[in-house]
Amino acid sequence: MNRFVFYLALSCMLIGAGYSQQSFLLIPDWTNDRVCALSPVDGSVINANFIPTNTQLFDSPKHALPTPRGTIMVADQLKDAVHEFDGFGNYIRTIADLQNNQIDNIRGIAIRDGKLYVTVASGALQNTIQRFNLDGTGQETFISASQLNSPFAIYFRENDMLVSNSNANTLIRRFDLSGALLGQWGGTTIRFPQQITRRRSNGNLLVAGFGSPAGIYEFDAAGNQVAYYAVSSGPRGAYELENGLILFTDSAGVKVFDPNAPNPANTVQTILGQGNYHYIELYEILPGDVNRDRCVDDADLLEALFQFGGSGRADLNGDNIVDDADLLIVLFNFGAGCE
């Protein structure tokens, strides 16, 4: 018991001293057919080739989305497929594609309550949202064609959902959680809205307006526009970093701007160029979750034990050796995330 208390105290000290098992932002790149990993703190590049270039699976990777089990779904617009990868970027399987599921010209995806939602803009299921179990079975039409017009992104809230559409008369529409249309949302100034994300500092929503007047639009929860940042002629997604700057993507780079500056457009800086970048999602790692399956259990402990004294992914604190310190992080968080 005394030893347990000692370990608890020690692991608190170790975690306080510096912790390198870090969460990251997933950003797909159409030019290089890959998915990049950036810091959610300051936008710095962690690994530009997190899911490396893969022209078999990718042509236009649009949206990389974490699942509740720690895997990552990647929707590819022109390959017409949703692929699943593990939390380290290794391919697992293809969840849905054109041949098997008639999903043609797909864009944003979403996951809620064990279901995958996919926007479809062409083919037999044009202008629908298709819904699947997370293994790709159980396909059904969730929102039908008459209510959408070239859908681009899905954003779930507690009691409703928003769907952005690129055609001018539809824009952003609000639905209830069973898919019934509630009405237009967010006004008609924005054109060609793409990704919708929550701004961490104030709970407002950031929407990338891809068409002129292009830029990042900020709305309150009711859909009133409260800010407009003219920082890009064609943004696809925006995300507020922990340092307060706003990260965004367009066909020339991943960039940041300062929303509090007198003229935010003057503060734009490119973090990652030489690519064509799309939606932004946070991949969160549970402390101690060596295998990134969103549960800290025996499997993580065993990896740390097997790698003990050497190197490997159980090196959670990033000091290039798997030792007591890493083992304690697993033990200290044992059971976290597990059902």
Contact by Cβ (8 Å): 142, 178? no
Is residue 284 close enough to count as binding Ca ion by CB under 5 A?
no
Out of 289, 329, 330, 332, the residue judged to bind Ca ion by CB under 5 A: 289
CB of 314 vs Ca ion, minimal distance in Å: 8
303 sits near Ca ion (criterion: CB under 5 A): no
Q: Does 300 bind Ca ion (CB under 5 A)?
A: yes
The two tokens of residue 112 are: 């809620």
Point out which span in 14-22, 203-211, 265-273, 321-329 binds Ca ion (CB under 5 A).
321-329
In 3D, which of 196, 208, 154 has the Cα closest to residue 177? 154
Q: Does 277 bind Ca ion (CB under 5 A)?
A: no
Interface segment toward Ca ion; rule CB under 5 A; list 24-32, 82-90, 215-223, 257-265: 24-32
Q: How far is the CB of 9 from Ca ion (least distance, A)?
A: 19
Residues near Ca ion (CB under 5 A), total = 12
Q: What number of CA atoms fall less than 13 Å from residue 18's CA on the CB side?
A: 3
* Contact between 84 and Ca ion per CB under 5 A: no
What span, in angstroms and rounded, lies between the C-alpha atoms of 223 and 221? 5
Which residue in the set 29, 33, 76, 84 belongs to the binding site for Ca ion (CB under 5 A)? 33
Q: Which is nearer to Ca ion, 74 or 206 (CB)?
A: 74
The residues binding Ca ion (CB under 5 A) are: 30, 33, 59, 289, 291, 293, 295, 300, 315, 317, 319, 326
